[in-house]
Amino acid sequence: MRCPQCSTTDDRVVDSRTVDDGTSIRRRRECLGCARRFTTYERLEEVPFGVVKRSGRKELFDRSKVVAGVRSAAKNRPVSEAAMQALAGEVDEAVRLEGSEVTTSQVGMAVLERLRALDPVASVRFASVYKGFSGLDDFRREVGQLSEVSRPGEVGGLGAVGELTKETAPK
Ligand SMILES: [Zn+2]
């Protein structure tokens, strides 16, 4: 960082602390040329990112909506708040790599892939809302995909899905 007094670009950090609820870091620096002290702030770069909805309308990607969707799908399931936040963070990173804007279904699929590994039951619930199942075949396909990733004997695994299937898709 160039010294505001003598333009030397060498400095040392004498103090560093997080401020603004942890959203930025304040650094107190000392110029190695003239010993002048100055302050810099480091903040996360928030790049606006567009999501195209089914209706064709665009809105900015909102990580908290992903968390809300997952929270509702994972109601009464053993999925921690921290895990939901982490999942939303991963989805945020992943969809940004797809381009400058994505569709809601791309976001939904990114959530689904991760939720499936986290909690199969929650992922089926999530899928039924976000993929807009057209019929029972879609539901069966989703449950089929589920059995590929579930390990036998896993708590909350296929047994619970069986119950869900009975209740949601009666024969
Ligand atoms: Zn200086």
What is the whole-number distance in angstroms between the Cα of residue 64 and the centre of ligand 1? 43
- Tokens 């009666």 -> residue: 170
What is the whole-number distance in angstroms between the Cα of residue 8 and the centre of ligand 1? 5
Q: Between these two residues, 94 and 138, which has the higher pLDDT value?
A: 94
* pTM, to two decimals: 0.55
Residues 51 and 100 in one domain: yes
| Cα torsion 70, 75, 77, 79: sign | positive
Pure H helices in the chain = 63-73, 81-96, 104-118, 120-130, 136-149, 158-168
What is the whole-number distance in angstroms between the Cα of residue 155 and the centre of ligand 1? 62
Residues 34 and 65 in one domain: no
- Tokens 């609820």 -> residue: 21
The range of the structural domain enclosing residue 61 comes to 46-119
Residues 36 and 57 in one domain: no
104-158 pLDDT, tens digit per residue, is: 888 888 999 999 999 999 998 898 877 655 455 565 666 676 665 544 444 444 4
Residues 69 and 114 in one domain: yes
Judge whether 139 lies within some domain: yes
